[in-house]
Amino acid sequence: MPQTDADFEPRRYRVRHRTHYAYDEPVDACYERGFLGPRQTATQTLVEHTVTVTPEPDLVVEHADWLGNRSFYVEIRTPTTDLDVVKESVLDVAWPRVDLTALDGWTVRSAIADLRRGGVDAVTLATYSLPSALVTAEPVIVAYARKHLDPEQPLGVALDAIMMGVFEDFDFRSGATKVTTTLPDLLDLRAGVCQDFTHLTLACLRSLGLPARYVSGYLETTPAPGRPRLEGADATHAWVSVLTPGGTWVDLDPTNGHLADSRYLVTAWGRDFRDVSPLKGVIYADAPIRSTLTVGVDVLRMTSSNPETSPAPGPS
């Protein structure tokens, strides 16, 4: 997906994300937790936001989780055969360009030492430097990291090397991986989706001691030339944010091979996908229940001439 100067221009988006569960028999109760509201960040401002849950929930509680994300807890104690959760947001987005060469005054090793000397609290360093459930440090992962990273590399060179290394070494292939696919499995498959590439890049950075977090959100896409935009055809996206000296986070997208720009909208961040799952929970019923999950996402750029949509870049 090419990147131009225009991709860093400020813009406004309307995002609609619908999650629908259909059950083959009525369930007695649903207890769900998810990140249904986007974060306020240095790159985006929340203008409007609504969450609609059907059937009418008995309880909805919103709070900031331990990582500062907007977490929603929902209880439905009415028997139902459907659960529908729709979140809609309007966001003003503007990402600055990051000059990776400006980071080359540090090597990877000296950058880590600088971060550890001060300016960043120990909890943040530990949270995003240590392995997590889905970002592991098996020897095969460390060996892969060393193919692209070296402690003596200039920092900007190193960040570009790991981002482009994963981008070039793996094919984007929907369905190639499952929720049970591990990072060693991914190295064998050489194919996956944004979640997989983000986890691998995180593992490589953390294996050297660089703090890096998983970012969940959306990426503006456009249909192929001559094809209409289909309602609900967009998807969630994931990328990497790495901490650099001075406390600045730099966002890398190994799926597309470039830094984040104003097409990127942030929902939540954490150690890995498990920290930022859009919606998860449990249901209670008298008998085994089968369910069908449908997810539809629309990311529409708003303009003064057309409040619904305007041309956008190609899909990731």
The CATH number that applies at residue 80 is 2.60.40.2250
Query: What 8-state DSSP symbol labels residue 111?
Result: H
With 0-12 / 13-18 / 19 or more C-beta atoms within 10 angstroms meaning exposed / middle / buried, residue 177 is middle
- Among candidates 226, 198, 217, 238, which has minimal Cα distance to 297? 217
Residue 184, preceding bond cis, omega within 30 degrees? Answer: no
**Residues 133 and 173 both lie in one domain:** yes
Q: Which domain CATH number covers 157? A: 3.10.620.30
Q: How far apart are CA 44 and CA 230, in angstroms?
A: 26
**Residues 141 and 220 both lie in one domain:** yes
**Residues 156 and 263 both lie in one domain:** yes
Q: How far apart are CA 145 and CA 165, in angstroms?
A: 9
**Residues 186 and 148 both lie in one domain:** yes
What's the pLDDT score for residue 303? 75
In a domain, 253, yes or no: yes
Residue 175 is encoded by which pair of tokens?
């369905």
**Residues 176 and 126 both lie in one domain:** yes
Residues 297 and 267 sit within 8 Å (Cβ to Cβ): no
**Residues 123 and 265 both lie in one domain:** yes
Bridge partners of 264, per DSSP, are: 219
Q: How far apart are CA 17 and CA 23, in angstroms?
A: 20
Count of the separate structural domains present in the chain = 2
Confidence class for position 120, pLDDT limits 50, 70, 90 = confident
Reported pTM = 0.92
**Residues 290 and 198 both lie in one domain:** no
**Residues 241 and 286 both lie in one domain:** no
Which of 237, 258, 274 delimits the end of a domain?
Answer: 274
Confidence class for position 2, pLDDT limits 50, 70, 90 = confident
Query: What 8-state DSSP symbol labels residue 222?
Result: -
For 43, the domain range is 5-93+277-302
Choice among 51-65, 213-227, 300-314 with the minimum mean pLDDT: 300-314
**Residues 224 and 282 both lie in one domain:** no
In a domain, 316, yes or no: no
Q: What percent of the chain has pLDDT over 90?
A: 86
Residue 35: enclosing H or E segment and its boundaries? strand 29-37
**Residues 206 and 89 both lie in one domain:** no
